[in-house]
Amino acid sequence: MNGFSLANSLSVSVRIYRAMLVAYPKTFREDYETQMVQVFRNSFKDAYHHNGMPGVIDLWLHTCADLLVTALMERIMERSQYMFSPKVILWGGVASVFAGLFWLMTGLAPSSGDATLMFALVLSLGGLVGLYSQQARQGGILGLAGFVLGIISTVAMLVAAWIDPDLGGTRGILIISLFFLTLGIGLALLGIASLRGKTLPRWWGLPLTLGLLNILQSISFWLIFYVPLSHGQDPFHPWNLGNYGLVVVFALMVLIGIGWIALGATLATEGGAQIPVSQPPSASA
């Protein structure tokens, strides 16, 4: 490719890239389009001079993947600006505190009934919204993935509990285990995003810790109840861990409740104090 061909290819590529930027919201393009086009122009030249056409192809592959993800995120953020209101964070924190109280009640008084679990699940949704809102745009794709996992797992658990309030037997234990695992992963991702973005004024590691507690709870349900039941055994047989396992399960439930309360108190008292300003995405990964 001679200099003339390179100039033509660069010109065509820049026009194509500029046209692709329509995927971003209008206000975002007004702020960052010129900068992003310049970054792409420089990246194109560097890619060609270092690796020739293979470098240009690699640049386009990374650029398209990056643009697809970041443009989708910006569109979601544009539709969800109301989520980042301090009031949403405040009420999400309040919901988280009450969710923690119901999780505590579930652990300390298992006979309190299915209503306790349902209230804990519903209020946990509010806590997830408050935590994600506190991250604003700093959470990135990691925070968004954690939020989506948390919402999906909690809603699925609500539906399962509504269809089968007892959730007994192997299937019920499996559903509970998967719920705690998925919610735990979601909270862990939100926690990592909070650590990276420093979006909580204090106790930055609290969401990650809460996520790990939920993952431990999932493992406990799996080992203590699901494994024996799936082999046709009684979990409470002296040779199994059922009797001792209940202590572990209820203790983890109490810790999960305390975690939700602490997270909610942090969001309600200090959440929204500082909402970081987003940075433009790169032209290529």
User: pLDDT tens for residues 236-256?
Assistant: 665 555 566 677 888 899 999
CA distances from 61 to 42, 57, 84, 118, 214 (A): 16, 6, 33, 46, 38
Q: What pLDDT does 189 receive?
A: 92
**CA 101 to CA 133: how far, in whole Å?**
22
207: tokens are 């969401």
Spatial CB neighbours of 254, under 8 Å, sequence gap ≥ 6? 103, 104, 107, 108
Residue pair 122/264 in contact by the 8 Å Cβ criterion: no
Regions of the chain short of the pLDDT cut 50 = 1-4, 274-279, 284-285
Q: What pLDDT does 271 receive?
A: 59
Nearest to 234 by CA among 170, 171, 174: 170
Alpha helices in the chain (DSSP H): 3-20, 26-79, 86-108, 114-135, 140-163, 169-197, 206-221, 227-230, 242-270
Burial of 174 (0-12, 13-18, 19+ CB in 10 A): middle
Q: What pLDDT does 248 receive?
A: 82
Q: What pLDDT does 55 receive?
A: 81
Amino acid identity for residue 194 in this structure: S
**CA 102 to CA 114: how far, in whole Å?**
11
Q: What pLDDT does 231 receive?
A: 74
**CA 229 to CA 78: how far, in whole Å?**
48
Q: What pLDDT does 285 receive?
A: 40
| Per-residue pLDDT tens over the stretch 191-202 | 898 888 777 766
